[in-house]
Structure 1
Amino acid sequence: MRSLARNPSYLQVTPLALVILLFLLFPVITILVVSFWDFNAYQLIPDFIFDNYSFLLTSEVTLKAYLKTFFYAFTTWAITLSLGFTLAYYLAFYIRSPLLQGVLFVLCTVPFLTSNIIRMISWIPLLGRNGMVNSTLLETGLIDAPLEWLLYSDFAVVLAFVHLYALFMVVPIFNSMMRIDRNLIEASIDAGASALQTVFQVVVPLCKSGIAIGSIFVVTLVMGDFITVRLMSGGLSASVGVLIHNEISLLQYPAAAAGAVVLLLTVMLMLSVLFRFINIKKEL
């Protein structure tokens, strides 16, 4: 007690430490412990076996699920980065009025105030076989038969991901661009740089932190998502999240825990590679 009284900083950090311990470390440790248990059709059997990991790491189904998940993550990241950077650049450098910037930014966030499920379901009557897109294309004579790949396909999954997570890329990039000194842009133009040279040699390096933070959000959200893949693919595609969800539905908790641990390590490895290219603490 005397040491705590002499060091009040310990008292300040204790509540946060307890919250992290209770809601972050304890669940992760529990999942890690359960991943080594055995199970049958009726119960969980406390044990220390590696069967769950050996099956997971040698299964062809798991390999295909990870490849599909990486495809979704990389494709969604590339599209959201392109769209997010373009939109943030327009708002930051082409809209001069702060009031208009705020209004347009709020308009960008309005669709994200609804449920993710509702936003995904809204694509079904639009992209379905008899949906608005196919009906319009058929009436205009651009196609002779409905396009089957618009819905319940990888295209639909990626489209839904971009719709769901684009804002997570726009916001951090926009915040980074708003902190850029406009004199640097003018100096680049005065030095004879073209618009593209100014963007790639001045703007992009100065908003690396926003790009990194947006990338972290998008990649981690896509890697752990299972509802979007299951709904928009019609059950025809599988991701790591879908496999874990299926194992939980079948009460195979140790196998699901092993899958969650491997997925967590995979995401942490991807983030560690990203952190090697940028020091977010220093940039912020």
Structure 2
Amino acid sequence: MAQLIEITAADDPRLADYRDLRDVELRKSIEAEEGLFLAEGEKVVRRAAAAGFEARSFLMAPRWLDGLNEVLSASPAPCYVVSEKLAEEVTGFHVHRGALASMRRRPLPTVASVLAGARSVLVLEDIVDHTNVGAIFRCGAALGFDAVLLAPRCADPLYRRSIKVAMGTVFSVPWTRLDDWYDALPMLGAAGFTTIALTLAADSVAIEEAVTGVDRVALVLGSEGHGLSERWERTADRRAIIPMHAGVDSLNVAAATAVACYVTARR
């Protein structure tokens, strides 16, 4: 069972995992070096624990202890109990869900293991906004996608903001990073997937048409700014658009993912 330890000083070294959570670049460096990620909120902490991630420690206001008693009882990690004011001072924001957990990262699985048995996959190229990555995971999970593959420069799905927006679905949807960006789509083709790129290319067809008759599908999504690279657009098996009105030619990548996943799930 977690040992409850009351802390009253913001500079206590035991709280190092929780400092400066709003400094994205600093947190990326710290979390990579220490091999950790942060889960925020009762529901997300529960989902991380249920997925088998090991806690390094917990940080909670007193009123959240009872709600997470089951998780704390099953973990040997210390639980630092602080006032909500002190939690805000340490983290740099108001922890309105009252609970944080520092969890140990696990080695990323191989691409082959993530694809094994998968029928519908999302493939992300250079999507750098953590909110978008989290929203895409949530869409994929909700609409029955089996896995997510990320190009090397994509934002971290285990960054706190990604996890929060994803509502913890980053723990339930298998994912990993692609080692070979250049030949990623031909590799998926060789593995039996039809790769369908969402793009405004001249030969793009409506997404409903693109997914018709496809068994194993990989939806390919590009960055928030310029979309897909020329290489990925050209090497995809098919190119697709979401038909729109009123002169609008594109959606936010997370919104586009939701629409494309819905259509694909109904193929």
Shorter-chain TM-score bucket reads: under 0.3
Query: Which of 1 and 2 has greater Rg?
Result: 1
Question: Quick check: which one's helix share is greater?
Answer: 1
Pick 1 or 2: higher relative contact order, CA cutoff 8 A, min separation 6.
1
* TM-score between the two structures when normalised by the length of structure 1: 0.20
Question: Quick check: which one's strand share is greater?
Answer: 2
